[in-house]
Structure 1
Amino acid sequence: MSTFPGDVRFSVLDRSRTREGEDAPQALRDTVRLAQEVEALGYHRFWVSEHHSVPGVAGSAPTVLAAAVAAATTGIRVGTGGVMLPNHQPMVVAEQFGVLEALFPGRIDMGVGRSVGFTDGIRRALGRDKDDADRFGEQLGELLGWFTGDQTAHPQVHARPAEGLRVPPFVLATGEGASIAAAAGLPLVIGDLRGRDRLLAAVETYRSGFRPSSWSAEPYVVIAGTVAVAETEAEARRLLMPEAWSLAHSRTRGVFPPLVAPEAIEELPMTEKQRGFYESGLSGHLYGTEEQVAGALEGAVKETGAQEVLVTTSTYDRAALSESYRRLARAVGLTPRARRSLPA
């Protein structure tokens, strides 16, 4: 079994995917339960995401969901992967994370990204425009200023209780965002593991341009991607089928649907175009037995020099998903965490 350096961390991002025949409230409750499971397994962080008007994703309000996760856990760090800053006013984001940090001190992470709603209708509903993403660097600076008290966009205005608190910020990025993270002196979360050349180029851009800040003295890289572990390689690949089909469906029909069982996918007639997207959705991820995945992850960490791996796996069978995380924890040598009593 491969072993990792003790300072490499492993964390989980859950997108609160819905399953066929399951409603959104159930998906959110299952996200909270999954957080409890991965906490016990020894994972470092548990993050939740932001999606709007997506039929297959229940997670639309990540700071609210993070509060529920933090309340149901005791030791794991909790945060967002991420809040899409162009969708929000930076002051409101600061206030929300300030409240989280005040309630759960020392356990909250603030992951932010630069995406906006992916359709014109969603952007109009959010009161945003596609061009708002171009202001991400400016918004990020304002957001951090609400915590330090140094923001100048709104004189004599204060974000309470955020001002004076330290909530670790992370930038979720593809290529361009790596430069923004470097200039701001913040940790970088980047994926996915399938586009290795592009990933390595972005990491190099980040490290070469990094400017130490009061938030981070040196570069910190989190690589993100899908990882599936099972007893056999074939079973692990099968775990990827529901998400791959959902992606193919969205690319050809414009709707990102709930996950369906692999057995149902095997019976589906697919057009040539759908088949192409489906096969592409299955390729390049890290999957296999514990030994195979440990070796592949060891290689990815060595190539990128990453200090942390953020796993984002989704599948139809929740029991199989939990088992995948158990196997992964064993494969990379995580130490189970003793559960403390929740506050009264």
Structure 2
Amino acid sequence: MIPLSILDLAPVCEGSTPTQAFANMLELAQRADALGYHRYWLAEHHNMPGIASAATAVLIGHVAGGTSRIRVGAGGIMLPNHSPLQVAEQFGTLASLYPDRIDLGLGRAPGTDQPTARALRRYFDAADQFPQDVRELLHYFEPAQSGQAVRAVPGAGIPVPVWLLGSSLFGARLAAAMGLPYAFASHFAPDAMDEAVEAYRREFRPSSRLQKPYVILALNVVASDSLEESKRLFTSQQQSFVRLRRGQPGLIPPPVDDIEDFWEPHEKFGVERALSCTVLGDREQVGQGMAEFVERHRPDELLLTANVFDHAARLRSFELAMQAWRDLGG
């Protein structure tokens, strides 16, 4: 069976604070380390009250320092917001502190709105330079050459694994052309998933970094003692998506007993489509759902995510998911 990993956004719930979110994040990472999850990735977002992972590299260091085995990384760093040299230095530093445990996933979107992108001092049209920026960043991880004017210190000569992230054909084809592993954001933008994965595998060119295609697919998974309870827990994520689309992003809300009272029919259609890659249920149902997803889409790894309001329920969800996977031989 393929590896299971976790994608976290350091969610800030109503009635809580970023400080508590970071404590929860570390506890989840430590639990994931003990359970046998392969990676723990954090995603860069800005100006989002319910997401505390803006300073992604800082949190990666905190998580890596509090765990012992699990790989820790960015899923991902939004490269248009940064200079390639700074990213190389940050992840060269992390990889020096935690050898063979740090991953760097790169995204093309700004991870925020346009006013915030301008406040980050990098304009949205910088996304057009994404392929060039990726090549520059990869160059900084190569061994420094005599006479090289600019080098990443630390970073040069450190083999940090670099991933490309995406939700369209663009990222898939770029990852294939560069011979890099690819992670698809199927947990919130699944429409082009099958086409993108097919294009990536068909067009992949081996590189010094990767000899054959490697695909991670993201999947929303909420496990509990019953399907009804998992559906209720998942309403926090559904509410958050509706509020974002209404232009009202906020803290992660508590679950509701009847989501139908919350959204309009057109909102329901859009959110259910965006979150169609979701598995809910008890231990057995979640295991079966993950197995069916893997059988249908053939990823090399699954990246599980779950924005559950109650921290104890969130911990248990990831515990049950791993137990279910092992029940199937994972």
* TM-score scaled by length of structure 1: 0.88
Closer, same or farther in 2 for the Cα pair 1:197/1:303, shift >3 Å? farther
Contact 1:41–1:334 at 8 Å: present in 2 too?
Answer: no
Structure 2 residue matching 1:32: 3-state secondary structure:
helix
Closer, same or farther in 2 for the Cα pair 1:119/1:237, shift >3 Å? same
The structure 1 residue matched to 2:203, chosen from 206, 209, 231, is 209
Closer, same or farther in 2 for the Cα pair 1:276/1:144, shift >3 Å? same
Contact 2:187–2:274 at 8 Å: present in 1 too?
Answer: no
Closer, same or farther in 2 for the Cα pair 1:294/1:272, shift >3 Å? closer
Gaps of 5+ in 1: 336-344
Structure 1 residue matching 2:326: 3-state secondary structure:
coil
Pairing of 1:220-259 with structure 2 (within 5 A): 220-252=214-246, 254-259=247-252
The structure 2 residue matched to 1:43, chosen from 37, 45, 56, is 37
Contact 2:220–2:275 at 8 Å: present in 1 too?
Answer: no
Which letter maps to 1:258? L
Closer, same or farther in 2 for the Cα pair 1:44/1:96, shift >3 Å? same
Aligned residues: 326
Instruction: Report deviation, 1:324.
Output: 0.6
Aligned to 1:64: 58
Structure scoring higher RCO (CA < 8 A, sep ≥ 6) equals: 1
Aligned to 1:340: none
Does residue 112 of the first structure (1) align with residue 125 of the second (2)?
no
Aligned to 2:69: 75
Q: Please list every run of at least 4 consecutive aligned residues from structure 1 whose deviation after the TM superposition is greater than 4 angstroms.
A: 193-197, 264-284
Closer, same or farther in 2 for the Cα pair 1:169/1:281, shift >3 Å? closer
Closer, same or farther in 2 for the Cα pair 1:312/1:230, shift >3 Å? same
Aligned to 1:10: 4
Contact 1:54–1:255 at 8 Å: present in 2 too?
Answer: no
Aligned-pair Cα RMSD in Å: 2.3
Question: Identity over aligned residues, as a percent?
Answer: 38
* TM-score scaled by length of structure 2: 0.92
Does residue 133 of the first structure (1) align with residue 124 of the second (2)?
no
Instruction: Report deviation, 1:195.
Output: 6.5
Q: Tell me the distance in 2 between the aligned counterparts of 1:306 and 1:276.
A: 26
Closer, same or farther in 2 for the Cα pair 1:9/1:267, shift >3 Å? closer
- Between stretches 229-238 and 292-301, larger displacement belongs to 292-301
The structure 1 residue matched to 2:149, chosen from 156, 172, 177, is 156
CA offsets, 1:190-248, max 9 Å, x none? 13157666211110100111111111111001111211111211111112101110110
Q: Tell me the distance in 2 between the aligned counterparts of 1:97 and 1:38.
A: 22
Q: Tell me the distance in 2 between the aligned counterparts of 1:304 and 1:269.
A: 32
Gaps of 5+ in 2: none
Q: Tell me the distance in 2 between the aligned counterparts of 1:298 and 1:91.
A: 40
Instruction: Report deviation, 1:30.
Output: 1.3
Q: Tell me the distance in 2 between the aligned counterparts of 1:218 and 1:230.
A: 37
Q: Tell me the distance in 2 between the aligned counterparts of 1:287 and 1:267.
A: 18
Closer, same or farther in 2 for the Cα pair 1:268/1:292, shift >3 Å? closer
The structure 2 residue matched to 1:288, chosen from 269, 274, 281, is 281
